[in-house]
């Protein structure tokens, strides 16, 4: 088993269609994300996903099959695989099997491409679309920044990106990443906030959170380009699932800056409206967080990077399971 600092290169490899993916058959222990444990193990299967099952064994299962697509929140960055939402639900309900195809740092665009590549091989009964609310903003990016903690340097990783051309969703040509752009960005100090954030994480301090995240503008329509692109991508996800006789269930994963306010965040309202318009089932997590005391809400997220803590995963799993939210889809 490898034991390295959690650098991007240690965990991920370039993948032409998706931009990047976990390295297959990985066994890597990474440091604690500040959740009171010494670290956790990242293990991936032969397909490069953080799931103990192979895609072939998932497909062959006689149980109700759920293919999960999303980002780092559903992939479980910061916690052991056994502590994640759907690993817990699968433990409590053995009539279902879940395949976690979450890719950290991904947008809806990459999640769509992963679905298109996997669905025929997986033959799921259900596709669970569980992106973090900020994934909507990533749809507009042509590349992603990653920080190499081992060498203290920033790197850019190109990613696929869609555009809406004449009302149609088109996969744009990949843009070459200019290394000099990031170097200049650092020299000019525009990455100062990022360095301060990383230093705060090192000290295990709470970093500042925006009252209104930038991606709110997409969900409310104040960013019409971002909204149109997101709608087209989600529409294609629904079409892909329908083509393969799979039902889609959405479950937007709320970030800590979504739940700190006293009202339902725009992302929750958007997916609720989508559910009504498209006749798909949506699992709204806002009622869970709304009912929690503020100090417990804070404990649901890792101080260091904002991902769900073990408590956060367990509370969400318990909420979904206890209320039979996956059974009410009919």
CATH number at residue 6: 3.40.50.1110
- Please, which residues have CB within 8 angstroms of residue 30's CB and are 6 or more apart in sequence? 4, 5, 6, 11, 39, 40, 41, 42
Establish if 328 belongs to a structural domain.
Answer: no
H or E element, residue 187: helix 179-187
Establish if 110 belongs to a structural domain.
Answer: yes
How would DSSP label each residue in 78-126?
TS-GGGSHHHHHHHH-TTEEEEE---TT--HHHHHHHHHHHHHHH--SE
Establish if 327 belongs to a structural domain.
Answer: no
Question: What pLDDT is recorded for position 205?
Answer: 43
- In the predicted model, residues of the chain with pLDDT beneath 70 are 1-9, 32-38, 146-155, 174-212, 327-330
Question: What pLDDT is recorded for position 30?
Answer: 83
Predicted structure pTM score: 0.86
Question: What pLDDT is recorded for position 39?
Answer: 81
Q: How far is it, in rounded angstroms, from Cα 75 to Cα 86?
A: 10
Domain count, the chain: 1
DSSP state of 205: P
Establish if 182 belongs to a structural domain.
Answer: yes
pLDDT digits (tens, 9 = 90+) for 147-181: 665 566 666 777 899 999 998 999 987 665 544 44
Question: What pLDDT is recorded for position 29?
Answer: 87
State in Å, rounded, how far the first CA of the chain is from the last one.
44
Centre a 10 Å sphere on the Cβ of residue 79 and count the other Cβ atoms it contains.
24
Establish if 223 belongs to a structural domain.
Answer: yes
- Residue 314's closest CA among 52, 86, 142, 69? 86
* Domain hosting residue 96, numbered range: 2-322
- Residue 79's closest CA among 315, 311, 298, 297? 311
Question: What pLDDT is recorded for position 130?
Answer: 98
Q: How far is it, in rounded angstroms, from Cα 77 to Cα 305?
A: 9
The DSSP bridge partners found for residue 40 are: 30
CB 23, CB 9: distance < 8 Å:
no
Which residue's structure tokens are 């490069």? 48
Q: How far is it, in rounded angstroms, from Cα 272 to Cα 323?
A: 17
């Amino acid at each position: 088993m490898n034991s390295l600092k959690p650098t991007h290169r240690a965990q991920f490899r370039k993948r032409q269609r998706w931009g990047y993916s976990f390295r297959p058959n990985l066994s890597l222990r990474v440091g604690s994300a500040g959740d009171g444990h010494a670290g956790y193990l990242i293990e991936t299967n032969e397909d490069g996903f953080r799931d103990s099952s192979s895609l072939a064994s998932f497909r062959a299962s006689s149980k109700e099959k759920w293919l999960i697509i999303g980002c780092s929140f559903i992939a479980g960055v910061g916690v052991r695989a056994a502590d994640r939402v759907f690993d817990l639900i699968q433990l409590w309900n053995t009539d279902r099997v879940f395949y976690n195809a979450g890719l950290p740092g991904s947008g809806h665009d990459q999640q769509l491409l992963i679905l298109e590549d996997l669905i025929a091989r997986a033959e799921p009964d259900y596709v669970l679309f569980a992106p973090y609310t900020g994934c909507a903003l990533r749809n507009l990016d042509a590349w992603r920044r990653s920080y190499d903690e081992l060498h203290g340097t920033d790197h850019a990783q190109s990613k696929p990106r869609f555009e809406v051309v004449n009302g149609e969703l088109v996969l744009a040509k990949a843009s070459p990443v200019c290394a000099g752009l990031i170097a200049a960005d650092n020299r000019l100090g525009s990455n100062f906030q990022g360095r301060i954030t990383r230093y705060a994480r090192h000290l295990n301090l709470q970093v500042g959170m925006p009252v209104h995240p930038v991606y709110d503008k997409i969900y409310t329509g104040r960013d019409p380009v971002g909204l149109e692109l997101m709608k087209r991508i989600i529409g294609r996800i629904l079409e892909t699932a329908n083509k393969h006789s799979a039902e889609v269930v959405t479950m937007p994963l709320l970030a800590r800056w979504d739940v700190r306010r006293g009202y339902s965040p725009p992302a929750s309202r958007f997916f609720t409206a989508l559910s009504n318009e498209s006749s798909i089932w949506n699992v709204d997590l806002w009622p869970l967080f709304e009912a929690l005391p503020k100090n417990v809400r804070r404990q649901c997220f890792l101080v260091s990077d904002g991902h769900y803590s073990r408590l956060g995963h367990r509370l969400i799993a318990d909420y979904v399971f206890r209320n039979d939210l996956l059974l009410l889809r009919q």
